[in-house]
Structure formats: C-alpha cells, structure tokens
Structure 1
Amino acid sequence: MAGQVNLAVGCLVWIEDPEVAWIDGEVVAVNGQDIRVLCSSGTTVEAKSSNAYPKDPEFPSCGVDDMTKLAYLHEPGLLQNLKCRYDVNEIYTYTGGILIAVNPFRRLPHLYDNGIMQQYKGADLGELSPHPFAIANSAYRQMINEGISQSILVSGESGAGKTESTKMLMRYLAHVGGRDGGKAATGERSVEQQVLESNPVLEAFGNAKTVRNNNSSRFGKFVEIQFDRSWRISGAAIRTYLLERSRVCQVSDPERNYHCFYMLCASTEEVEKYKLGNPRTFHYLNQSNCYELDGLDESKEYTSTREAMDVVGISTAEQDAIFRVVAAVLHLGNVEFTKGKDADSSEPKDDKARFHLKMAAELFMCDEKALEDSMCTRVIVTRDETITKCLDTVSATLSRDALAKIVYSRLFDWIVDKINNSIGQDRDSKHLIGVLDIYGFESFKTNSFEQFCINLTNEKLQQHFNQHVFKMEQDEYTKEEINWSYIEFIDNQDVLDLIEKVQKSFFPFVTNLNFSADFVDLFILYS
C-alpha cells in the first residue's frame, strides 16, 4: 500500500515534522479531515488526515532487508526501515532488484574481504544479505544466462558513497571474471589488476575534497568490462565526462583542489626538483584554508599513485612528465600581472611573478616569452592580416586561468587515454558489463553552470529510473489487467523537455548533444 487509509482513533500514523522530517504518533481525535495526534515525543499536534500516513504496528525493530516486504510503501515507512537497519550497522537494503546504500562514513573492512566475495559467488539475488557483491554477481549471472550485456547504475547525492560502491562492484567482477593470476604469473599485469588500479590514478587527478566528501569524484566515469567466450575479463574501456575544470583555479573554503597537487607538494623528492613548497604559497591552493585531510599521509598517497601508474602501464618517464605539468600549473597560478608600458597592456608584476613564469616555461618545456605573450596578448587572424591585441591585467589573469584549466583538462584526458591503451580492448568481445559512477546531485547557496549540468545529468538518470521502475512496470500491470493501486511519483520529464528545447534553440546545428560534456564546452565557447 502506497497511499493513505481511513484513519480512526487509536490508529498509528506518521506526520511531517519540520525538524526530523517525520514523527510517529497515535490518533486521539478525528473531526472530518482534521485529526489530533499524540506524538511519541509526548507533544500533541493537529494535522490533516490527507497528510498522515499509516504506521505498521507489527514493524520489526531491526527492519526488513527488502523494502518490498513492508506493509506500507511510503516515504516515512521507507526512511524508518533504513534508519533501523543503519542503527544495527546494516547499511545495505534491497528494493526489489535495486540496492540502497547508506554511507556509514567509516571503514567496514569485514564486509568486503575475499571470504565474503566467495560467499556471494553464484548466489541468487536475495539469498544472502543485501550487498554490492550481490548486485555485481546478479549482473554477471544474467550476462551468462541470457547472453545479454548488462549495466549497473550508481546514483545518489554528492558524498553518498557512490565511488566506494563502484570500487566494490569492480572488485567483485574482477574476482569472478579474473584469470586466476594467469598473466600475473608471467610478470605481466592482468586486465583485472589494471582495471582496479586505474581507480587510484583517476582519483588522484579527478577527485577532491568538498564540503560533503573528502574524496568526491569531480568527473563522471563509465567503465566497460569486456568478457570473452569463457566469461573471463578480456578487455576494458574507461570513459570520463565533464571534469570540473573550474576547480583548478577556484576553490571555495573549506574545499580543496585536486588531490595530485597536494601529493606533489608533500613529496620530498619532487619538491626541490620542481621548486615547490608549502601548498599555502600557491594561489590555486591557498584560496581555501583546508590543506590536509585527517588521517591521510599525502607523501604516501603520492608513492601509492606512482605504483598504481606502474600497474596501468604508465612509464616512469611519462609519470615524470605528468607531475611536471601538475607543478607547472601551480607555478602558472602565481604569475601575477601589472599594468604594462602601453595602454591596456600588462606584464608580470615583479621578480616573484617572473620566477614562477620562468619555472612554468621550463616545466612546460616552452619558450618563456611565448608563454608570457600567450597570456598578455590575443592574436586575431583575419583574411588579410594577423592582429596582436594587448590585454589588460584583468584579461591577462583570465587568460592565465583559462590556460591552466585547459592544460589540466588535456592532461586528465591523456591519462585516461593512456590507461585505455595500456589495458586494451577486446574487439572480439560480444558481452560486457558497464558500471556508471556519475557525479552526485549538488545544491549550494550559489550554483555554477557546472552544477547545473551535473544536476541535469542526475535528473536524466532519475527519469531513466522512473521509466523502468514505475512507468514500464505499471504499464505492464494495466496491459495484463492486474488489480493494483497506482503509485504516485514525481515525474521530471516536463522539466527535462523544457531544458532540452532551450538547448536546441541555442545550438540548432547540434544533434544528440551530450549535456554532461559537449554542452558545457559549447556554452563556454559561445560565451
């Protein structure tokens, strides 16, 4: 039952509460559509019967492991079940074939060891306790039994634990689809090892601390794990979407920039080589007062990242080049400008700015004057001539930041391409399992255009969820003339249609536009 029922004196109900969302109580008086409820907190409140939901008096104290077993399927009932399970350290709950995970904000290693993985191998969904391993196992078994490729969507708010859940899913698929060390025995890294070790590499360059999450993915990721005819992993491909480029130059307190910047500053062996130092000395890092994360040793993380790079096939020379670019971006951010000799012109502010300009040029392996001109001037090419226009200090600073963002974005894309080329794809593979780890829904006091695109992507995924869980299922019930009660849900299709019409009005020449990447680039380009 999803809706309300007729209420009488003595009924147990849930009513809305401004502080705790929902509060339970007993109906003590009924007057038409108005009811009086004695809440469990001891207070008595007046409410409308249409705003009250029945409470199951036989609800078990520890909850149920599958929401479909609840007597009443409504918001307060679902939240009560999740809370009861969370209180006894049961962070996973099914809703049919969907797994709900509640972030415990602490490590629970006993839930994810190899022994647990072995238990779920071959088990039917629902046979054992709810777990990401069960979802991965279900996808793997369906792929084998039905001969159809599968995909797993990991969705939720920022900080909900999507990235960690994705790691568990990939670990399990590597466990059941691995080759038992066949390649590792010859000294080579197996495909599954490379897929797993790609995670810390991508996290180092694409994750950052946010208000809600110390390791927030600032990009979307779709991992295709390919299988051969023996149902063993034979290849993989990683696609990334919409790296948050603005974070390179703008960081709000108490957030941080990308992890790799702090790792590099903490590495004693690289600090002298790249003329680095305390993160507080760099403009791209000191806009926030947060420089360290509790319990995290950045120097060890740097070493671990280099080791992971070895596994995924990035050579030592290439690793040095990657971190050289990272250091160059930091130096670039410290190049300040002052008014030049000519009107509306600019030049490096002082010796300190020229030092950072020189270091950036050396690390980029380019001419120092050419790098300065790229920030202080703009070249306009017409049919008949080439015009060089000087930029004032504000425009030069914007040009500097734009250069830093595009360089870092290209570096990230190069790392992803390198990982893909190293792992290799199986062109003969007919089946795959895709795992989508998308950036979480975000809502701040002030939201940038990137937040708009992130949230729009999440709304599109929510519509996909609505389509498959509500619309298609209920259409099937209607077709088969099953006696059932219609489940009300918020349908966001009208909002999506409106936004996509706006997009088509701005860019009528673009078809099948990918909002999570192309739209942002086009918007910035035409702005």
Structure 2
Amino acid sequence: MDIVGISQKEQDAIFRVVAAILHLGNIDFVKGEESDSAIVEDEESKFHLQMTADLLMCDPHALEDALCRRVMITPEEIIKRTLDPHGATVRRDGLARTIYSHLFEWLVDKINDSIGQDPASKCLIGVLDIYGFESFKTNSFEQFCINFTNEKLQQHFNQHVFKMEQEEYTKEEIDWSYIEFVDNQDILDLIEKKPGGIISLLDEACMFPKATHETFSQKLYQTFKDHKRFIKPKLTRSDFTVVHYAGEVQYQSDQFLDKNKDYVVVEHQNLLSSSNCSFVAGLFPSLSDEMAKSSKFSSIGARFKLQLQQLMETLNSTEPHYIRCVKPNNFLKPSIFENNNVMQQLRSGGVLEAVRIKCTGYPTCRTFFEFLTRFGILAPEALEGNYEEEVACKKILEKMGLTGYQIGKTKIFLKAGQMAELDARRAGILGISAKVIQKHIRTHIARKNFVSMQKASIRIQSFWRGELARKLYEFLKRDAAAIKIQRDLRRFLARKDYIRTKFSTLILQAGLRAMVARNEFRYRECTKAATIIQANWRCHRAFSDYKKLKKASAISLSRWKGGAVSRELRKQKKMVAREGTEEAFPVIREPSIPDRGTEKIETLIMEVENLKTLLRAEKQRADQYERKYVEAQESNEDRRKKLEETDRIVHQLQDSLNSVSQDDVFHVKSSFRAENDLVYFIKTDFNFWTR
C-alpha cells in the first residue's frame, strides 16, 4: 500500500472497514415478539453489532434499525415496516456487499491514480487475469457471471485464432477446406440477447416486487424450452442447466434475484454518509432525493454485461496473447499430476480444440524472405542461382521431399510437423558445419596456443634462470651475513656472560667480605660485651661479698664494742668500788695501767672509717659498672638493628642475584647459602650473649 501511495491513515481506515465487514457478517437474527419482525439473536451478535458500529463510527441503534427495518417512501407518507430474520439477513449481506464494493472501487481508483497512465498515449500493455470456467455442486449468480465472461473470451479466442487464420488463407489465395470449430455464439445469445436473454429476463423479474426465483425459473423454462443450450432438470423446480462450451453447468436460481438487485438503500446511504470517520463518509457521499429516487434499482447483471462489453472492445483494439493456466492437482501439493483433471481443464479451456484445428489447417507460415533466411542452407544451389524467392523456396521444399504444403502470394504454409522436420535437418547441417568450423577453430587455437606457450615457456625459463641466480646470490649473501651475525652474537653473548659472571662474583665477594667483616665485628662486640658482663658480674660478686663482710664487720664491731663497753663499765665500776674502798680503807696504790683499751678502740674506729671509705669507693665502682652495663645493652641494641639492616641488604642482594641469568644462579645461590648459614650462626651466638 505504501508503494501505490496510500497513506498510513488511509491504510488504518481500510483495515477498519474490512474488519467492520467481517463483524457485520457475524450478526445473526431471530424472530422478534411481533410477527414478521427480527431482532439480534444473542450477546455475541450484539457484540459484533457494537464492533461494526464502532469501526464504522456510526450509531449502533441506527445500524440495527437499518438492518431490521425497511423504509418505504410513498407520495403521501413514509412507511417503516419490520423485516423477518431472512429479510434482515439479506439486508445485512446487501450492506456488506455495498461497503465492500465501494471500498474496492476506491482502491481501484487510487491505484490507477498512483500508476499515472498517460491518457493521451495510444499504446498500452494490459494484463487480464480472471477465473477460469467454474462448475461446483452449488452454482449461483457468481458462477453464472464468471462462466458468461469465459464464454465471451472463448468467442474472442475463436475469432482471433481460427477466423483470423482462415482469413489469412483466403488473403494468400491458397487451396484450403473450411475448418469446423465449435462456435459459442448461440450460448452468448442465450445469455445476453436483448430482449429474451437470461439476463434480460432476470432484470425483468427483479422489477416485479412479487417475483420469486421460482417464477423466474418458470419464465426461463417457457422461453428456452426448445433451445439446445438450455436444459430443464427433472428433479428440481427452480434449477436450470446451460450447456457451455466447456460442459454442462446446473445453476441454482434461489438467490439470483437478490444478488442481481443493487438497491441504493437510503437508510444505509444516510447511515454511512453521516459516519464520524471521514474515510467511510467519503465512500458514501450524500444523495439528493431526486438522485435517490432515480437510483432506486440497478441491475448487477446489466452492469456486468456493460463492463464486459467495454472489456471486449478493449481486447478487439489490441493484439492479445493468451495464457491458459492449468492446475495439476486439487491438493495444492507439488509433484502430483492428475491426468484426468488436467485433460478436463485442457478440454474445457478449448486448448484441445485449438490444437485439433491447428493440426487440421496449416499451423506454421513464414514469408518467403524469412523461409529463405532460415532454411537456405538446406539447398545452397537455390540461393546461388538468380531465382525468385517463391521458386527458391519451392526448390528447397522439393529437395527436402515435403508434400502437402501450400505456397501463397507472400507466405509458405506448412502442415503440422513439417517445420519441425525442416528445423531438424537444418540443425543437422548446422551441426556438421559447426563441427568443421570447430575443427578449424580448434586447430587455429591449438597452433596459436602452442606458439604462445613456446614463447611463454622461453620467457618463463629465462625468468626462472635469472630468478634462481638471484636467489643463489641472495642465499650466499644471507649466509655470509648470518655467519657475521652469529660471530657478533656469540661475542656479544660471551661478553655478556663474562660481565654477568664478573658482576655476580663482585657481588658475591662483596657480600662475603661484608659477612666476614660483620662476623669479626660481631665477635669483637660480643667479646667486649662478654668482658663487660664478666666485669659486672665480678663487681656484683665483690659487692655482694663486701656487703656481707661489711655486715659481718659491723656485727663483730658492735659485739666487740658492746663487750669493750661492758668490760670498761665493769672496770669503772670496779675502779669506783676500789676508790670507795680506798677512801674507806687505805689501799696500797698499784701502778696505773696504760689505756690499752682506748687505743684499740681508736684503732678499730680508724679501721671502720677505712672500711667506710672502701665501701664508698666500691659503691662508686658498682655504679660505674652499672652505667657501663646499661651502655653495653644500648650498644647491643644498636648492633642488633645494624644486624637487621645488614640482613635486609643481604636479602636485596639475593633478589638482585635472582635477576641474573639462569646459568649463574647455581653458584651464586651456593655462595649465599653459605652466607646465610654464617648469618644464622652469628644470630644464634648474638642471641645467646644477649640473653
């Protein structure tokens, strides 16, 4: 739809109208409360009625009235009468057909406008695609119209193929006998003759309000009882049979009158023209009262006949080409071919009759010039001589031994199969000539290819010799360059290995020297610390002995002093007692004893003072040793930190050695393994001394 210029809004409106038609067909009616009245059957039908009204954008009550009631306009008044369920169904179908017809006509006009055919053009290419001949179990007015169209096209086919061909024979003045073929003009007269044809009688019956399909059928029986193309079936009262060119078809006239009537229902027209959808309102423009009255009845058959007549006039003014489509099977499946079905289609389509007539006459004709141009190679002598075209053609035919042909004024007429025979002989001569030409061409091509291949091979050989020499030179050049590169690479690798080994050795030596120096330093520090510790221990032990000695001397001194004082006190007491005695009694004075005790006391006091002095000296020495001990501990702590820093440096050296190439790792690892053992030993020794 987009290609033919239909907008999206118009497409939506088209789909709405199609959906409304489908919903409209689902509305069913039942008998109402009043006699001869109809109402919507059930809720489902009411739903479809509501959907139809919504899609058409009209009033659902007005739509229901338009389906169930009929308006009759008289000069005096307007009469509304109800319809029975059958009448409402017919009215529903009529409305659906009317909507579909208007939509179809709108689409045709839209597509024609989109194509934009030039009206002033005298040339056109048209495609007419119609249904073929139809014969079903139930054949109604639609099949009647389609078969009528096929009868018209068959007559045109006969006129174009057979009559034109016989006129060609007459024009060329050849001896020919009249070809009998089935002419269907009597069938066309039976259908479309006016007055007295089936369509005319159908229109006449539709004009009478009380006419039924039975009265119409009786009229046909009476009118065509002696017609050889019309047959009255024995077991029915309303069916009739028409003998078409393709076979007999029995039609059921039950709905012929209803389908032929094309009433312009005013209620339908007003309902749809007042739709809120502009597209639907455009399909049904409002009609004036005079136009509505004049267009009250229109015959579908008469209109179809007029359109078919216009189509035939168009076909007669053109050069038609016929294509008969054959359905291989009724299952719509591939690789299935029903012979009887296909044969029946060929027979009913007039193809077999056309083949028979073609074979009876002269199906192939060529002008003298065309014949000589195509078949002159069959008799070259006829072309070499100064013969007229007619004589030359005759010589060719005589040489080929053909009979039964006809020579006209400007053309040669051949029987069926003769053209194929001439083509076969021409193909044989062309085949022989082609072989000779191919032989010479192949020889020329082979010789040309050989020369070109020889030149090419020489050129290729010279090129490859040069290429091989260049490749050899390039190989030697590359080989010399490779040797030089290998030499330089070996030298570079050897120098690199030497430098790496030297660097590793230096690192290892430095690490070992540092380790030895650290060991010596640790040993000296440990020895010094041990000496300090020993001195402190001796000091501590001497100080302990001193304190014990001091305590013992103090005790001894106090005891001695106590004894001396006691003795001195006793002496004093004795002296006092003696003096008292001497005073009381004369006593002989003894010589005085020197104060030996006092001297001894003084001596002891001096020793005590000396011991105190010695004690103070020892205390000072102990304090000095204690300070040195603290300093030694601080020095040991500094040395421990330096040892940890040295371990960190050793680990860094190990990491740097790990980045050295793999071939130097082994002996470096062994060296570091020894260094680690020494470091562990030193750590153990240091921890022992620090404890």
TM-score, normalised with respect to structure 1: 0.37
Q: RCO higher in 1 or 2 (8 Å CA, sep ≥ 6)?
A: 1
User: Over alpha carbons, which structure has the higher Rg?
Assistant: 2
Q: Please identify which structure carries the higher strand content.
A: 1
* Greater fraction of residues in helix: 2
